Structure 1
Amino acid sequence: MKTLAAVQYRIYFQNRYVTVALNPTLIELLALQLGEYPGTANARFTVQRWLGIAVRHRFGAIVTDDAPVETWARLCLQEAVINREGVLLKGRGVLFPKET
C-alpha cells in the first residue's frame, strides 16, 4: 500500500512565511468542510488561507524563528477535522476559524 506524502503549505506572518508539512487526508477533509473539492487550486488556496488565519488567531501574528508553527498548524487542523472545533464562520466571503 502506498503511503501519502505530506502536503506543504505556507503560513504567512506579516512580511514572512513558514512552510509546514501536513497530513494530506486531513487537508482533504478540511477542504470538504470549507466547501471546496479536494485537490483543486481553489481548495489549496482556501485551506492555506484558513490555516494561516487559524494559526495567527490562536497563537498570534508575530512569530519568532524558533516558534513551533508546524505543531500549531497540525493542532489547528486536527481540532478542525477530528474534533470539529473551530471550523467555519463565514464573514465577508472569507472562511474564518470559530472564536474560542
Structure 2
Amino acid sequence: MKISVTGRQFEITPSIREYVESRIQALVEDKALDFSSAKVVMDYQKNSFKTTLVVNCKYHVVPAEVEDFDLYKSFDACVAKVDTQLKTIREKIRSHQAPPLREVAEVEEEAVEE
C-alpha cells in the first residue's frame, strides 16, 4: 500500500513520518477491504494544525479532516474518524452477504419443531 505524507508550511520529520505510517498500517491491517493508497496532508495554519487523511480502497474513498492545536492529536482524530467509517463500510458489506447455510438450516429446523 502506498502512503503519502505531505507537510504544508512545515517540514515532515522522520519521526512524524514513522508515526503516521505505523498508525495507518495498524488501521488497515485488520480490515478485510482491499486498500490501495493513503494520503496524509498536514497543514500548519496560524497556531493550529489541520490534518487531512484520505484512504482509497476498492470501490470506496474514505476522507477525514480535523483541526487541532497539536499535530499528533489532529492526526489521531483523523485516524479515529477513518476507522469509524471503515467499520461502517465493513458492516454494510457483511450485512448484504447471504447467511451461512448452517444458520439457515438451524432456523428452518426450529420453525419445523414449532
| Range into which the TM-score falls when normalised by the shorter chain | 0.3 to 0.5
Bigger Rg, structure 1 or 2: 2
The higher-RCO structure (CA 8 Å, 6+ apart) is: 1
Of Structure 1 and Structure 2, which has the larger fraction of its residues in helix?
Answer: 2
Of Structure 1 and Structure 2, which has the larger fraction of its residues in strand?
Answer: 2
TM-score (norm 2): 0.33
